[in-house]
Amino acid sequence: MSQFKPFTTLDLFEKLMTDRGPLGKHSSVAHGYFAFPKLEGEIAPRMKFRGKEVLTWSLNNYIGLANHPEVRKADAEGATKYGLGYPMGSRMMSGNSSLIEEFESQLAQFTGKEDAMVVNFGYQACSSMIDALVDRHDVIVYDSESHACIVDGVRLHQGKRFVFPHNDIANLRKQLERGTKLVDQTGGAILVITEGVFGMAGDMGRLKEIVALKKEFNFRLLIDDAHGFGAMGATGAGAAEAQGVQDDIDIYFSTFAKSMGSIGGFIASNEQVINYLRYNTRSQIYAKTLPMAFVVGNMKRLELIRTRPELRENLWKVVNALQDGLKKKGFNLGVTESPVTPVFLSGTEAEAAQMIIDLRENYAIFCSIVIYPVVPKDVMMLRLIPTADHTLADVESTIIAFAAIAEKLKAGAYSGSLSNISI
């Protein structure tokens, strides 16, 4: 008689239904309202949500380029001239063009690098770039609050990776010491990765302090500056420019999806590194290139970032009014140093849901809410993204509304359970 028991194989789909993940477990309540909401109409501070006009603070359209008339004209002209198909294929095989190369030259010049590489999607390009840069002999050292595109790239790494607590330079030093000992044995190298601006809390990576460590350790520095490009720095070249260390960033990455309000992204570095990445970044070798219509529109966006400083000035006028006004009302904005404006409150998931319903339905204000596991339990974060298109009147009405809901939260008006929520 066999001593082996037959396998009891779990059906894959059954497993997915019983373990929906930390966010998916709320889908029956959240879908269509808290998650996957539909904002409709022209991209603007005021849009439609469920048929009702709301003042929206949830679009990463920092300097108002997504619907700028000159941009809309360039987008339309690009689509008319090229359609959405050209160029066909990947850059390496059949998808290159002189216009893309010209755009890359402009991006390199703007960020102060020798060369640049336009990519089709920021998220996949960042992950794939990390995979291309390191091999199993190398060590990655990265910030604990790095964006998911960085984390996924680190997961692809077959060598050692060490994480340091968010912006903890003393601990980064320890990880560099560990990494140095290891690569001395493997013959590898060290890549440090952080962000220019962290998209949830709004604080900047401590780039100046990280750069200073190059005097003691041999490493290269990669930053993801998705939220800094176009919004931070004297010319809009990003967080490193704002901290005075732009020349010391070895590999600069950003997306066109934030300040540009578009799609795609780019990597900028020295000529040899960019040439290496062109031939080794799998997400670009094996995927279609960015359509020419987007290249044309993105070139216009870059031109406006370079030549219209008043757009960035308008953004910061709104940012300062919003953040100063909320702080005067006693709100905790954490450690933000950028347009990203998090408002931290204490409460349960049910209170968070009821509060957002009240804010949207009765105050006509739409902003994103973040709960556990992104933030600790019993913490809720309302995340506001001011833009150059918002007005000071928008800011004033929002501060009044936030003060009102905070009082309601304190008085227990939002108590209850998620099962009792009706939308």
Picking from 276, 307, 338, the residue at the C-terminal end of a domain is: 307
- β-strands 341-346, 379-384 pairing: antiparallel
Instruction: Evaluate whether residue 63 is within a structural domain.
Output: no
At 370, which amino acid appears? V
Give the domain range for residue 408: 20-56+310-420
Using CB atoms within 10 Å of the CB of residue 7, give its burial: 0 to 12 exposed, 13 to 18 middle, 19+ buried: exposed
Helices 309-328 and 292-307 cross at an angle (nearest 10°) of 70
Q: Are residues 166 and 259 in the same domain?
A: yes
Cβ 287 vs Cβ 88: under 8 Å: no
Nearest to 146, CA basis, from 172, 121, 170, 120: 172
pLDDT of residue 421: 67
Q: Are residues 289 and 173 in the same domain?
A: yes
How is the beta sheet containing 52-56 ordered, strand by strand?
39-40, 46-49, 52-56, 365-366
Q: Determine the 3-state secondary structure of 119 from DSSP.
A: strand
pLDDT of residue 251: 98
Q: Determine the 3-state secondary structure of 290 from DSSP.
A: coil
Note the pLDDT tens digit of each residue in 130-186.
999 999 999 999 999 999 999 999 999 999 999 999 999 999 999 999 999 999 999
At 364, which amino acid appears? A
Nearest to 206, CA basis, from 158, 173, 240: 240
Beta strands in 76-123 (DSSP E): 115-119
Write out the H or E segment, with its range, that includes residue 411.
Answer: none
- Count of domains observed in the chain: 2
CA separation for the pair 400, 156 (Å, rounded): 47
Q: Are residues 269 and 326 in the same domain?
A: no
Q: Are residues 284 and 302 in the same domain?
A: yes
CA separation for the pair 355, 383 (Å, rounded): 14
Picking from 307, 323, 354, the residue at the C-terminal end of a domain is: 307
Output the six-digit token pair for 246: 């732009």
Q: Are residues 396 and 265 in the same domain?
A: no
Nearest to 257, CA basis, from 122, 74, 120: 122
Q: Are residues 237 and 372 in the same domain?
A: no
Cβ 62 vs Cβ 255: under 8 Å: no
Q: Are residues 274 and 356 in the same domain?
A: no
pLDDT in tens, the chain (423 residues): 556 666 677 888 888 887 776 667 667 777 888 889 999 999 999 999 999 999 999 999 999 999 999 999 999 999 999 999 999 999 999 999 999 999 999 999 999 999 999 999 999 999 999 999 999 999 999 999 999 999 999 999 999 999 999 999 999 999 999 999 999 999 999 999 999 999 999 999 999 999 999 999 999 999 999 999 999 999 999 999 999 999 999 999 999 999 999 999 999 999 999 999 999 999 999 999 999 999 999 999 999 999 999 999 999 999 999 999 999 999 999 999 999 999 999 999 889 999 999 999 999 999 999 887 778 888 999 999 999 999 999 999 999 999 999 999 999 999 876 666 667
pTM: 0.93
Nearest to 127, CA basis, from 112, 142, 115: 142
Instruction: Evaluate whether residue 278 is within a structural domain.
Output: yes
Cβ 386 vs Cβ 319: under 8 Å: yes
Picking from 287, 307, 327, the residue at the C-terminal end of a domain is: 307
Assign residue 359 the CATH number of its domain. 3.90.1150.10
At 54, which amino acid appears? V
pLDDT of residue 22: 65
Q: Are residues 40 and 85 in the same domain?
A: no
Nearest to 302, CA basis, from 105, 113, 119: 105
